[in-house]
Amino acid sequence: MAEGWILKAAALVAAALALGGCNLVVSATPVFSAADAAGAPPLRPGVWAAPQPNCDFKPADPLAAWPDCAGGAVITATAFVTAVDPSNVGPSGQAPAPGAAKPQKNVPYILAAGDPRVLQIDMELPLDPAAKTRLFVFAALKPTTHDADGRITGAEIWFVQCGPPPPPKPTGSGGGTETGGITDHPLPGMTVDKGGTCTTNDKAALRNAAVASRAWADPVGALHWVRDGVK
């Protein structure tokens, strides 16, 4: 869950709340607490990468020199430290202009125990110019490698979805199809409100959805620890 994943999650949720119909599971209040992570291996703090396919970058270079496709971010024990501020991603899904200043932003998370692990990400989104909306977004994380101390150094990651995505729908013109929208069959424990937002406060339902969502992930992301430090 490096910078590219944080931006993608923020854009999807912002668009869903503005327009309705996103299949991601969100909650207005935290579902997991630090106690839910107790005893389970943590992510190793440091510089992480979540590169896109065919991304050409040099892991030994400073993080600031990595291209966007590398999905680089610093992960601490409690937050993702990213130059992409989710609170600046509006309903259009657009991030700030490339030349705009990018102050670092801490995006808190809790990595709950289980198989797969459930990652709860604490976000603020701008749905009203006068206020911020706090939401919790969820992803499944399946560790693939660990260091000698048992800390996670590599993982697969995918968003937790409300249920099987709906089939593609015909576009308004041109005879093509488009994907997206809220499921027609929410998983047990999920509630879809009138605005088309899927929510739950049920830990077991989230864990079950995390398992099921692996089959609907497009794509399954991969992230790995690169080095200690913050640069």
Q: Report whether pLDDT(39) > 50.
A: yes
pLDDT band for position 12 (50/70/90)? Answer: low
Identify the top-confidence range among 10-24, 137-151, 184-198.
137-151
Encoding tokens for residue 40?
A: 């389970």
pLDDT at 37: 97
Strand pairing report for 198-199 and 169-170: unpaired
Question: What is the token pair recorded at 8?
Answer: 């993608």
pLDDT tens column, 207-231: 999 999 999 998 888 999 999 999 8
CA angle 177–6–73, rounded 5-degree value: 135
If one counts every other C-beta atom within 10 angstroms of the C-beta of residue 192, the result is 18
**pTM for this prediction:** 0.83
Tokens of 62: 């400073």
- 230 compared with 18, residue with greater pLDDT: 230
- Give the ranges where the chain is alpha helix by DSSP (H): 3-19, 203-213
C-beta separation of 180 from 156 below 8 A: no
Q: Considering only the C-alpha atoms of the chain, give the largest distance between any 2 of them, rounded to a whole number of Å.
A: 56
pLDDT of the residue at 140: 94
DSSP codes, 77-125: SSEEEESS-GGG--TT-PPPPTTS----EEEEEEEE-SSSEEEEEEEEE
Show me where the domains of the chain are located.
3-55+68-95+103-169+176-227
pLDDT in tens, 79-133: 988 765 555 555 444 544 554 445 577 889 999 999 999 999 988 776 555 666 7
Tens-digit pLDDT profile for residues 155-209: 999 999 999 998 877 666 655 556 668 999 999 999 998 888 899 999 999 999 9
- 111 contacts 40 by C-beta, under 8 angstroms: yes
Please state the rounded mean pLDDT for residues 30-37: 97
pLDDT score for 203: 97
Strand partners of residue 177: 170
Per-residue tokens: 128: 């009203």
Mean pLDDT, rounded, for 127-145: 81
- C-alpha to C-alpha distance for 190 and 15, rounded to whole angstroms: 20
